[in-house]
Structure 1
Amino acid sequence: MANPLARAQYLLAAHTPSQLPPDGGFEVAFAGRSNAGKSTALNALCQQNALARVSKTPGRTQQLVFFDIPPTTDRYLVDLPGYGYAKVPKDLQAHWQAFLERYFQNRNALKGLVVVMDIRHPLKEYDRQMLGYAVNRGLPAHALLTKADKLGRGQQGNALQAVRKELKSAFGDIVSVQTFSGAAKLGVDEAREVVGRWLEL
């Protein structure tokens, strides 16, 4: 079956709420700490090498980056700014905090959140915060445990079970989780099916 996400293309980057596209249609947002593999995951889902820039400098995404999916005019993937190692001034951090909170609270088009985390370092404070935003809105969330190819099969399974247990105790059944590797094409179809369902593609 053809992958509709393969048509995704860059639309715009928003630094303030006024720069966001009209609030209609369907959006799926992608969040992840710096260096968690978010750009690689987006590229793998869309079968493109350079849709989302893969940077050697963590924390490069400094806007909400929107990708639309032709021929539809109201389906978007949204790349959220990554945090962790990013050397970001405190006032800019405050700006992003307020912008993201407003986006999650008020954005009607937002249908789901994918949180990308390195399987070797999952559920850091930022990951929990982003999942909390989605859960508080009643939005479904899906955790991608990336770089799974760095672990053996047994370690992958153990990590998946541990994260699943912790997510269930913290958030109930609203957050799903899977192992993933963009480099090894592991779990790509499963993740693509989740995103496609939320976007009603």
Structure 2
Amino acid sequence: MKSLRILLLFPIIFAISSQLFAEDPVHSELRKFKTDLESAMKEKDIAKIIPFIHPNAVVTFANAEAVRGPEGVANYLKRMLAGPNKVVSKFGTNINVDELTILYGGGTVGISFGGSDDYFELTEGISFHSKSRWTATLVKEKGKWLIASAHVSMNLFDNPLLTAAKNSLYWIACITFLIGLGLGIGSGKFFFKKG
């Protein structure tokens, strides 16, 4: 009889535990938000990216430039990606999220973080891949998720631009050494011939 009671408790325990460990439905909304934002970014359509930005958002880009609101983000992207003085001719990114968004305010505020694999082709002809880290604060207003703040950064001590600069210095040092060696040998022959 005791074993029958214990067996009858299993479905109740299972139902309670599945409710306790069920994922908040807000995470499905946030996954859709991420997918839609990535799609807009892949199209490189600034008009499609701007609706994801909160009117009071603060966004800090990988070049340490901070902007405010949708207009600031739009102006930054236009300056970097369009027009005769643009800096970037092509870019791509794959956003990775480290874990589920940390929720606050009854599921209306979330902090998300992760990394991204980025590709840049600069107008100067330099192209490189890099890995970035990012954090974002998201808020839900009028049933819609928006980016309230975001920060993107690269590793200061190990990044493709630093590697390119180091490699340039090595080449310059080698070329300078060879020129110096050539001048030394040439001037040595010139002076020793006369003497």
TM-score of the pair, normalised by structure 2: 0.22
Q: Which has the higher helix share?
A: 2
Structure possessing the higher relative contact order (Cα contacts under 8 Å, 6 or more residues apart): 1
Q: Which has the higher strand share?
A: 2
TM-score of the pair, normalised by structure 1: 0.22
